[in-house]
Amino acid sequence: MSEPTDTMRLGYVGLGIMGGAMAANLLKAGHPLSVWNRTPEKAQPLLDAGATWCDTAAAVASQSDVVFLNVTDTADVEQVLFSVMGVAAGADEKRGLIVVDHSTISPVATRAFAERLEPYGVTLLDAPVSGGDVGAKSGTLSVMVGGMSEAFDAVLPLLEVVGGTVTHVGPVGSGQACKACNQAAVLGALLGTVEAMALSKKLGLDPTVMLDVVAGGAGGSWQLANLGPKIAAGDHAPGFMVDYLLKDLCIVRDAAAHVGLPLPIVAQAEQLMRSASAMGLGQRGTQAVAAVMEHLGGFRFDDPMPGNDESGETDEA
């Protein structure tokens, strides 16, 4: 097993919205960090803060005790791990590299990847996260981890840098299974928020007032509290993108099909998300699904409420 956490050399592959913020928190915590990203310019803020650039994922692995991954899809993880210049190529069997995969991918493929990594002396932990870009920046993500207990214990202090809640949920693949469940729950809450806001708008009730009230009761959720105000303002700036959630939906759907389980809410959510993507909103935040509801309902969430002028004052005497 690797050295104690306080002397571990860390590597990070995948420096997008989530990975860049999580890597920055590890660097701020004082850990030496080597990085690689397909788009090198995304690494610049980390390099300015003291990280070391590597030309390949293999180079990151060769000088790290723990390598974190945060890439888009199952195929991307496979490429980063097993390509000619991938992580496995840079691993030293005697050193016992730990790979922590924060990507959201197939739980079935994750188990296969773990088996393929064993001859290289690499232990894989699947550790997808929930909490969006806000949680990534603040280090308050929920991290769900699958894999060997010994490896989990070794990297737990590192995971606690990026996560407010870190839970070992079972053997390898269990983290991805838990994330699939998380995404199903997220979708229900997001679509419920959009529909509640649409109903509020059409009934003449200010959605922002409704959000404040509902957030304090049984209808409250992270989606309502964090994305509801953005929807009301017409703010579709990405934290987590529509097309990324569509990718996750495919993982949820395939996992459910693998065990013969129908998920009607997920199926409906996929239709709405695909509609948003077809409207050109695939690179916008998941809250952009509200634009589909605006189209169906013939309104805009950011239109002024009737009876209010531009100053926000009512017409009443």
Can you tell me the mean pLDDT for 143-150? 98
Q: Kindly state the tokens that stand for 270.
A: 């996929």
Residue 316 has pLDDT above 60, yes or no: no
Can you tell me the mean pLDDT for 202-224? 96
Query: Which domains are delineated in the chain?
Result: 5-170 (3.40.50.720), 178-297 (1.10.1040.10)
Strand segments, DSSP code E, in the chain are 10-13, 33-36, 52-53, 66-69, 98-101, 123-126, 129-130, 141-146, 163-170
Annotated active-site residue in 94, 137, 179, 230: 179
Minimum mean pLDDT range among 29-38, 198-207, 230-239, 305-314: 305-314
d(CA 221, CA 230): 14
d(CA 258, CA 108): 9
pLDDT band for position 69 (50/70/90)? very high
3-state secondary structure of 49: coil
Minimum mean pLDDT range among 2-6, 21-25, 28-32: 2-6
pLDDT band for position 43 (50/70/90)? very high
Can you tell me the mean pLDDT for 38-59? 97
Residue 193 has pLDDT above 90, yes or no: yes
Residue 309 has pLDDT above 60, yes or no: no
Question: What pLDDT score does 45 carry?
Answer: 97
Residue 91 has pLDDT above 80, yes or no: yes
CB 227 within 8 A of CB 193: yes
Minimum mean pLDDT range among 10-14, 82-86, 129-133: 129-133
Can you tell me the mean pLDDT for 99-128? 97
Can you tell me the mean pLDDT for 29-34? 95
pLDDT band for position 132 (50/70/90)? confident
Residue 228 has pLDDT above 90, yes or no: yes
Residue 311 has pLDDT above 50, yes or no: no
Whole-number percent of the chain with pLDDT over 70: 94
d(CA 271, CA 232): 22
CB 88 within 8 A of CB 120: yes
The residue length of the chain stands at 317
Give residues with Cβ within 8 angstroms of 71, minimum separation 6: 13, 14, 19, 77, 80, 103
Can you tell me the mean pLDDT for 40-67? 97
CB 60 within 8 A of CB 11: yes
Q: Is 179 a catalytic residue?
A: yes
- Say what the pTM is: 0.85
Can you tell me the mean pLDDT for 8-37? 96
Can you tell me the mean pLDDT for 297-307? 90
Question: What pLDDT score does 307 carry?
Answer: 67
Helices (H), 203-297: 207-215, 222-232, 242-258, 264-276, 290-297
